[in-house]
Structures are given as C-alpha cells and as structure tokens.
Amino acid sequence: MNTFYIITNLLKDPQMKVAKHIQEYLEKQGRRCLIQEALKTEGLQSYKYTDPAKVPAEVDCVLVLGGDGTMLQASRDLVERRIPLFGINLGTLGYLAEIGLKELEPALNKLLLDEYVLEERMMLEGSAFHAGKRVLSDIALNDIVIARSGRLRVIDFHIYVNNRFLNSYSADGIVVATPTGSTGYSLSVGGPIVSPAASMILITPIAPHTLTARSVILPDDAKVKVEIGQRNMQEEAEATFDGDTTVRMDCKDYIEIEKSARTVSFVKIDQVSFLEILRRKMSGA
C-alpha cells in the first residue's frame, strides 16, 4: 500500500493529533497520506459523513479513526468506491475497528509490507413502502431495525420470507441483521453471535410478548418482508438503517430487505482478531 486516506472522529481526536501522527509516520516511510478535511456543517454529528468524491482515485486504503460508529458511517459513505477500510479504535473496545493505539505503528508496518488480508462483509439493502409506493431505499452494514415510535405500546409485526408467511411477533420491534451486525443491537436483544465472515440474514424480535419467540437465521439469498400490523389504533413505527437513516412507517406499511449486491472490504492483519475480541468481551477484559 502506498497511498492512504484518513477519516477521523473529531470528537475522539479533536485536534487531529492521532491523524497527524499517522500521516507523519507514513510520510517518513515514503508513502502518501491525506487527512479528510473537517466538514463545515452544523451539529456535533457532522464528522460522521465523508464525501466519496473527495477521496482520490489512487487511495489504496482508508484509515478510519474512532470506533464502530465511525466505521459504519465510512462503510456506508464509501461503499461505491470499494476502497479497503482499516479501523483504528480511539475509544472502548469494539468489533469493527481492527486495532487500538497501542498496536498502531506495528500495524501500520504490516500495511506497508502488504502483510494483510481483505475480508469482504455483506450488507443489507432495504426498501420501505407506504401505500404500496416505495418511499426510501438504503443499505446497512450492521442492521435494519423496525421499531415502535411515539407511545409505549407493542406492535404486531408480520414476517414474510420469499413471499411466504413466516411468523407474527407482538414486540417492540424487529432487528434484521448481517453477521457483522450480530454483535451489535441484535446481540443486545438476544440474537446469536455469528462470524462476520459468514453470509446470512438474522431476524430477532425486540422484547417479544411471548416466551417462545426466538431468532431466525436465513440464507443470504432470502428476501425478508416486515409488515406493520394493526391493533385497535393507528400504529406508529420507524425503520432505521445502521442507526442513521430513518423512515416513518404506519400500519400496513412494510419494508423489503435482502442481501445487497454491494460489499465492504475490511483490512485484517490478524485473522483471529474477531475471536480474540469476542473472548475479551465475554470475559469482561
């Protein structure tokens, strides 16, 4: 790798000290390294977004400084560019960022020596429909969550797979996740942990009002439809893509979800890093 581009979370690296250190280190090794300019938009979350048109065509790798949220945003923003992403964690232990600051320079040396592998991660593509008309389409690396909004009450969700009825859940919501997203929200609501290298679709209800509700794991060619049911009053829900893009949904609205044709490439310098992170998470280390 010869040309690098840095995306940094300005809330975790406010003076760009880490970004500038990496830039200086790589340039001393004879490589080219560019740092994304701070976006001049209002709001504390403006740092999350990257204009793919400003990433030079010759970039071999995007270094993402922050945490899992920063990695998710970079993955969504740059998916059409198909540039490998390498995550450097600036916060608490996550699953998407490959290394922490203590391993920074040895990890950079491995990138310079081409001692790495690329791991393809599947994404989901979802289309929300209101009154039979598509109102939003977007992609997600982690998950698409369809959950209640407004008043605190359960909603009926009707699940179809490949146009066949699967089940109805009375619950607070439904998480449709990728293997990458299995360690995110899906895990917190009782979903299984799946290797991110796998390719499948996970469906997990959020706080289901039954003792028998379980997650369902489907092959990656499955087409999932989640429809908002109707009880005694107008239901209000919303679908959220990777905790970012949101669309409001009413009763009888539905969202169709399937594996996206687009993927994200993560740079891996340690092929067992996911297992190591999982062990540390489970042991509380």
Q: What is the DSSP letter of 59?
A: -
The answer to whether 157 and 208 have CB atoms below 8 angstroms apart is no
In angstroms, the CA 122 to CA 108 distance is 26
Identity of the residue numbered 59? V
Identity of the residue numbered 223? K
Q: What are all long-range contacts of 14-22, with beta carbons under 8 Å and residues at least 24 apart?
A: 18/65, 18/88, 18/90, 18/101, 19/65, 22/63, 22/65, 22/88, 22/104, 22/108
In angstroms, the CA 236 to CA 254 distance is 12
Q: Is 68 a catalytic residue?
A: yes
The first and second tokens of residue 254, run together, are 């539905």
Catalytic residue among 13, 51, 68, 172: 68
Which of 211, 140, 150, 207 has the alpha carbon at shortest distance from 176?
140
The dihedral sign for the CA sequence 182, 184, 186, 189: positive
Active-site amino acid positions: 68
